[in-house]
């Protein structure tokens, strides 16, 4: 019979995992948490080896794993196979809590155990396996999008260097046709531009392949289906939101969700001065990007947000501020509906 309550701190690494097992009850002596530690050693990177660190007469009350690449899969295995209550800890905050310039796996495992013992773990949401798999694809697509954007910027820089101005809106069909037939570039600039054009076509094909693959993944996902019912929301936006938000219920309010999406204004008040300083820089930048793009479409297609856009523009607000305001309002309203639907789908 399991009678001794214990906690586990796990410092993850590919080569081996530092596991600290300690008593959750009892008084720490002069050595403080060290007096509660039962075992602290490095074992193989597998849930079986970690679980073997706990004896049959011990009952695991918590297990804390520092979040890093691969830690989520291990946490899933410990929860599913060993039946442990596992939480992920935010590594940046854990490092600051340590208050020690020295670094060792032994100390890190002990710190994670101690944070779990006093219930002071800076938690990271452990996404389900399906959400993590979707993240792999949407973030892979985003890597190609960033590379395509970089190629376009280099093409624009080359045109400026050659002092060439093309008719039409940049990257529109007439503009691209004018670029192909442009005679004002020097011989070497035409060759470089041709290389950039080929790279652009290849990158666009990679992005199209990712989007085609996305059609097969979340076909039965309730959140993706719900998001696709909104005007201006396409498959990529819906999949990014599903992958990065994961669960509406993990946010206590629509405001907290909007802050996670990096859509809320940053307060810059001091003394009697009350002011905002633009949107927060912390948050999920990929979510902010796709939501602002969606806000431009919502401002054209949805009557409610079209009225909001016109009212803000009438007050002299620039288009970028209008888009953030629309995205903020939409996400906040979506949170309340999403929580209800999530509970119904569970």
| pLDDT tens readout for residues 67-125 | 988 899 999 999 999 999 999 999 888 888 877 777 888 899 999 999 999 899 999 99
Give dist(CA 113, CA 24) in Å, integer: 9
Tens digit of each residue's pLDDT (9 = 90 or more) over 7-33: 999 999 888 899 999 998 766 554 567
Q: Using alpha carbons, select from 49, 40, 31 the residue that is nearest to residue 7.
A: 40
Q: Which part of the chain has CATH 3.30.420.10?
A: 4-124
Q: What is the CATH topology of the domain spanning 4-124?
A: Nucleotidyltransferase; domain 5 (3.30.420)
Q: Which helix (H) or strand (E) holds 86?
A: strand 86-89
Q: Identify the three-state secondary structure at position 20.
A: strand
Q: Using alpha carbons, select from 294, 282, 283, 284 the residue that is nearest to residue 238.
A: 294
Between 129-161 and 285-301, two packed helices, what is the crossing angle to 10 degrees? 80
Q: Assess whether pLDDT exceeds 60 at residue 245.
A: yes
Q: Is the dihedral of CA 126, 131, 137, 142 positive or negative?
A: negative
The whole-model pTM stands at 0.84
Instruction: Tell me what pLDDT residue 212 has.
Output: 93
User: What's the DSSP call for residue 79?
Assistant: I
């Amino acid at each position: 019979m399991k009678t001794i309550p214990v906690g586990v701190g796990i410092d993850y690494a590919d080569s081996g995992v530092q596991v600290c097992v300690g008593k959750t009850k009892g008084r720490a002596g002069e050595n403080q948490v060290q007096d509660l530690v039962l075992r602290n050693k490095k074992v193989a990177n597998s849930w079986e080896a970690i679980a073997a660190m706990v004896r049959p007469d011990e009952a695991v009350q918590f297990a804390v794993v520092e979040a890093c690449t691969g830690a989520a899969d291990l946490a899933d295995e410990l929860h599913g196979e060993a039946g442990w209550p596992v939480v992920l800890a935010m590594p940046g905050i854990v490092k600051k809590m340590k208050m020690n310039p020295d670094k060792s796996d032994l100390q890190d495992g002990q710190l994670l155990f101690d944070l779990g013992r006093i219930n002071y773990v800076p938690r990271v949401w452990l996404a389900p396996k399906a959400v993590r798999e979707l993240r792999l694809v949407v973030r892979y697509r985003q890597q190609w999008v960033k590379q395509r954007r970089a190629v376009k910027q280099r093409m624009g820089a080359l045109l400026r260097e050659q002092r060439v101005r093309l008719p039409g809106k940049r990257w529109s069909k007439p503009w691209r046709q004018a670029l192909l037939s442009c005679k004002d570039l020097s011989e070497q600039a035409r060759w470089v531009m041709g290389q950039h054009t080929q790279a652009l076509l290849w990158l666009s094909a990679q992005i199209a392949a990712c989007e085609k693959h996305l059609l097969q993944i979340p076909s039965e996902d309730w959140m993706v289906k719900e998001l696709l019912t909104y005007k201006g929301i396409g498959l990529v936006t819906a999949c990014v939101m599903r992958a990065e938000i994961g669960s509406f219920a993990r946010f206590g309010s629509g405001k907290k969700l909007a802050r996670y999406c990096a859509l809320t204004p940053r307060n810059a008040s001091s003394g009697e001065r009350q002011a905002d300083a633009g949107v927060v820089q912390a948050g999920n930048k990929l979510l902010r990007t796709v939501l602002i793009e969606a806000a431009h479409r919502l401002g054209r297609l949805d009557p409610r947000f079209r009225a909001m856009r016109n009212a803000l523009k009438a007050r002299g607000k620039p288009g970028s501020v209008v888009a953030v305001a629309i995205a903020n309002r939409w996400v906040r309203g979506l949170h309340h509906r999403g929580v209800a639907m999530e509970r119904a789908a569970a």
